[in-house]
């Protein structure tokens, strides 16, 4: 043990006290031994340091931060350097705000496209997930701040996420659901791993010796600390047995007392507790120094960086008749609510109070194109509005190219809730149908953080640019790509199936009762579609560019 001499000076109660948070975000300090407390904050899209009372779902506002493209968007760059740079921005803002540990990135496999948190995760492919997560970790930790990868493991549905038992065979678990974590642990060397809420094969992950001891520690050699997901402790003593060093948030001392009692009763060896304390202290002492005093953040510079990164993440899915890039002075009508009110991040614990948000409409206005006007075209949160659609069609008649901004609204992709279907809102599909009848060229920009069914849209659009959730600077990045100031180079990190009926786990996803059964085994994403010869709308890895090769 590294901190044996300090641990020897601690009382049993003091050791136990370190095993849970002081409040929602901080660890406890022991002043007499010079042990500081450190601050932990979400998250993977940008720093979410809450200003007021803490909550896990981003309900209370947090301090302004740079909102980067979501992890799902960054994954489309297939470029670990992009992940590392995103991580470095998050890490630098964490450091500037006295935060010692960033709770991210998340890298659960996109087992099913309906998972409500897919916008926060990397891919359906474990290798890509691991490589990108490792790069985020490197970036965050390059700033002297700890990274905590999450959610370990098999947390692939939001429905009943705190009680569901993921039932999976060993091969599938290791090949598909753990390989990404293994790469992230070995190559990224994160200081911390967050255990997930769910159980795996009958044991809550946080007290699952096979996951936390055999695999994470023994097989992979992880030497950092394990922290529970917030409120994700089930039996504190079993967690300590599995070398979990921190339960978050505070339990007002209740579980600390359980630990003390277990040691006194002889149910828990004090040496085991010492090991957990040692693992925690290692991170606390290493990272507390990162957070000495607050320093200013150059949000303007970080916005520019976020824009640079966003440009790497956009995926050109279709470009018939070479509609894109647009020639200067092309007459364009900008249509669709998302052009003016961008959808640029997901919802839940990853929500960032974006320091500077701009929209594509403004950037298109400044791009040299001849903008004949803007119309929202549809109601953002669904429902028919013929007047809006009519006005959009009328505007379309004045333009040569229609730039149509579609996507999912803020309530469609949310932590804690899985999506009900893969469809785009009907009012948006009706609008595109009406616009198609004008005979004008149509370029659609699609903003959502997950795969959607494109039937009814794909065949009506001449060009389709998948913006994913591209962060606060996404509007500028989109405008630059549309005008050819930047070249699209993103490739899908997940399959876009033709229909939800083709998804391998569709018949038993999400697990509704006690268990989520991974009956499809390793046939997740393209592994299934390719093996079974099932046609998809856009395959994993797909993405066009403007460059033409002869
Ligand atoms: C989420 C984690 C997050 C934590 C703290 C939990 O509900 O699952 O991803 O880091 O809250 O906000």
| Local structure of residue 207 (DSSP, 8 states) | G
**Smallest Cα–Cα separation from 281: which of 38, 524, 531?**
38
- Six token digits for residue 173: 């678990």
| Structural contact between residues 130 and 187, judged by C-beta atoms closer than 8 angstroms | yes
Is residue 550 scored above 90 in pLDDT? Answer: no
Residue 196: the pLDDT is 98
Tell how far the Cα of 230 is from the centroid of ligand 1, in angstroms.
Answer: 6
Sign, CA dihedral 131-136-138-141, equals negative
| Structural contact between residues 292 and 332, judged by C-beta atoms closer than 8 angstroms | no
User: Distance between CA 386 and CA 430 in Å, rounded?
Assistant: 10
Catalytic status, residue 229:
yes
Lowest mean pLDDT among 50-54, 145-149, 247-251, 340-344: 50-54
**Smallest Cα–Cα separation from 408: which of 428, 392, 389?**
428
Is residue 290 scored above 70 in pLDDT? Answer: no
Residue 320: the pLDDT is 96
Catalytic residue (one of 42, 79, 191, 229): 229
Q: Which atom of ligand 1 is nearest to the CA of 58?
A: 12
What backbone torsions phi and psi does residue 121 show, to the nearest 5 degrees? -110, 165
Please give the average per-residue pLDDT across 537-544, as a whole number. 98
For 423-449, how does the pLDDT look when each residue is reduced to its tens digit (9 = 90+)? 999 999 999 999 999 999 999 999 999
Tell how far the Cα of 231 is from the centroid of ligand 1, in angstroms.
Answer: 9
Q: Binning pLDDT at 50, 70 and 90, where does residue 57 land? A: low
Q: Binning pLDDT at 50, 70 and 90, where does residue 55 land? A: low
Q: Binning pLDDT at 50, 70 and 90, where does residue 357 land? A: very high
Residue 530: the pLDDT is 98
For 249-276, how does the pLDDT look when each residue is reduced to its tens digit (9 = 90+)? 999 999 999 999 999 999 999 999 999 9
The CB of 165 under 6 Å from ligand 1? The reply is no
User: Distance between CA 181 and CA 168 in Å, rounded?
Assistant: 17
For 187-237, how does the pLDDT look when each residue is reduced to its tens digit (9 = 90+)? 999 999 999 999 999 999 999 999 999 999 999 999 999 999 999 999 999
**Smallest Cα–Cα separation from 290: which of 97, 146, 145, 136?**
145
Please give the average per-residue pLDDT across 355-364, as a whole number. 96
Is residue 289 scored above 90 in pLDDT? Answer: no
| Structural contact between residues 67 and 60, judged by C-beta atoms closer than 8 angstroms | no
User: Distance between CA 467 and CA 445 in Å, rounded?
Assistant: 6
Q: At what angle do helices 80-96 and 299-313 cross, to 10 degrees?
A: 160
Q: At what angle do helices 270-288 and 254-265 cross, to 10 degrees?
A: 140
Question: C-alpha distances in angstroms, 214 versus 189, 210, 221, 482?
Answer: 18, 5, 10, 50
Residue 549: the pLDDT is 77
Other Cβ atoms closer than 10 A to 409: 18
Tell how far the Cα of 293 is from the centroid of ligand 1, in angstroms.
Answer: 25
The CB of 56 under 6 Å from ligand 1? The reply is yes
Q: What is the chain's mean pLDDT, rounded? A: 96
Is residue 291 scored above 60 in pLDDT? Answer: no
Residue 328: the pLDDT is 93
Please give the average per-residue pLDDT across 315-342, as a whole number. 97
| Structural contact between residues 61 and 52, judged by C-beta atoms closer than 8 angstroms | yes
Question: C-alpha distances in angstroms, 11 versus 6, 260, 266?
Answer: 11, 10, 16
For 156-184, how does the pLDDT look when each residue is reduced to its tens digit (9 = 90+)? 999 999 999 999 999 999 999 999 999 99
The CB of 152 under 6 Å from ligand 1? The reply is no
Please give the average per-residue pLDDT across 14-39, as a whole number. 97
Percent of the chain clearing pLDDT 90 (strictly above) = 95
Q: Binning pLDDT at 50, 70 and 90, where does residue 548 land? A: confident
Tell how far the Cα of 192 is from the centroid of ligand 1, in angstroms.
Answer: 14
Residue 365: the pLDDT is 95
Percent of the chain clearing pLDDT 70 (strictly above) = 98
449-463 burial, b for 16+ CB within 10 Å, e for fewer?
A: bbbbbbeebbebbbb
Task: Count how many Cα atoms sit within 13 Å of the Cα of residue 49 in the half-sphere of its side chain.
Answer: 23
| Structural contact between residues 465 and 422, judged by C-beta atoms closer than 8 angstroms | no
| Local structure of residue 70 (DSSP, 8 states) | P
Q: Which residue matches tokens 């209740």? A: 254
User: Distance between CA 509 and CA 222 in Å, rounded?
Assistant: 32
Q: Binning pLDDT at 50, 70 and 90, where does residue 362 land? A: very high
Residue 298: the pLDDT is 97
Is residue 58 scored above 90 in pLDDT? Answer: no
Is residue 54 scored above 80 in pLDDT? Answer: no
Q: Which atom of ligand 1 is nearest to the CA of 196?
A: 8
Laid out side by side, the sheet with 192-195 consists of: 40-41, 101-102, 146-152, 192-195, 225-227, 244-246
| Local structure of residue 513 (DSSP, 8 states) | S
Residue 393: the pLDDT is 98
């Amino acid at each position: 043990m590294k901190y044996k001499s300090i641990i020897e000076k601690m009382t049993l109660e003091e050791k136990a006290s370190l095993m849970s948070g002081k409040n929602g975000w901080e660890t406890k300090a022991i002043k007499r031994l010079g042990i500081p407390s450190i601050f932990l904050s979400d998250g993977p899209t940008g720093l979410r340091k809450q200003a007021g009372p803490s909550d896990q779902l981003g309900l209370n506002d947090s301090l302004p931060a740079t909102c980067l493209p979501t992890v799902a968007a960054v994954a489309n760059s297939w470029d670990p350097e992009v992940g590392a740079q995103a991580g470095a921005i998050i890490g630098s803002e964490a450091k500037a705000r006295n935060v010692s540990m960033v709770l991210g990135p998340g890298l659960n496999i996109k087992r099913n496209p309906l998972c409500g948190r897919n916008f926060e995760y990397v891919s359906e492919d474990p290798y890509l997930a691991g490589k990108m997560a490792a790069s985020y970790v490197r970036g965050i930790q390059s700033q002297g701040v700890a990274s905590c990868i999450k959610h370990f493991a098999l947390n692939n549905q939001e429905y009943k996420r705190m009680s569901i038992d993921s039932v999976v065979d060993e091969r599938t678990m290791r090949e598909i659901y753990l390989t990404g974590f293994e790469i992230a642990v070995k190559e990224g060397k994160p200081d911390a791993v967050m255990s997930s809420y769910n159980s795996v094969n009958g044991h809550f992950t946080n007290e699952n010796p096979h996951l936390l001891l055999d695999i994470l520690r023994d097989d992979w050699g992880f030497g950092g600390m394990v922290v529970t997901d917030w409120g994700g402790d089930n039996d504190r003593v079993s967690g300590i047995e599995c070398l979990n060093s921190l339960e978050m948030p505070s339990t007002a001392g209740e579980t600390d007392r359980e630990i003390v009692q277990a040691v006194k009763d002889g149910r828990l060896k004090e040496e085991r507790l010492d090991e957990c304390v040692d693992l925690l202290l290692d991170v606390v002492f290493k990272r507390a120094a990162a957070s000495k005093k607050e320093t200013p953040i150059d949000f303007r510079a970080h916005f520019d960086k976020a824009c640079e990164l966003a440009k790497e993440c956009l995926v050109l899915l279709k470009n018939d008749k070479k509609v894109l890039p647009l020639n200067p002075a092309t007459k364009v009508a900008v249509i669709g609510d998302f052009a003016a009110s961008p959808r640029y991040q997901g919802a839940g614990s990853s929500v960032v109070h974006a320091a500077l948000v701009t929209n594509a409409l403004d950037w298109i206005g400044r791009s040299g194109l001849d903008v004949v006007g803007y119309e929202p075209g549809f109601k953002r949160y669904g429902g028919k509005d013929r007047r809006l659609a009519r006005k959009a069609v009328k505007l379309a008649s004045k333009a040569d190219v229609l730039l149509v901004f579609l996507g999912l609204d803020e309530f469609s992709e949310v932590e804690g809730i899985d999506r009900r279907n893969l469809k785009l809102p009907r009012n948006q599909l009706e609008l595109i149908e009406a616009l198609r009848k004008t005979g004008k060229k149509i370029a659609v920009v699609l903003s959502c953080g997950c795969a959607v069914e494109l039937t009814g849209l794909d065949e009506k659009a001449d060009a389709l640019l998948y913006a994913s959730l591209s962060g606060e600077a996404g509007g500028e990045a989109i405008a630059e790509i549309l005008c050819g100031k930047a070249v699209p180079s993103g490739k899908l990190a997940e399959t876009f199936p033709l229909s939800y009926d083709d998804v391998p786990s569709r018949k038993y996803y999400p697990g509704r009762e006690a268990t989520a059964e991974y009956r499809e085994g390793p046939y997740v994403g393209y592994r299934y579609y390719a093996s079974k010869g099932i046609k998809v709308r856009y395959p994993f890895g797909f993405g066009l560019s403007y460059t033409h090769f002869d």
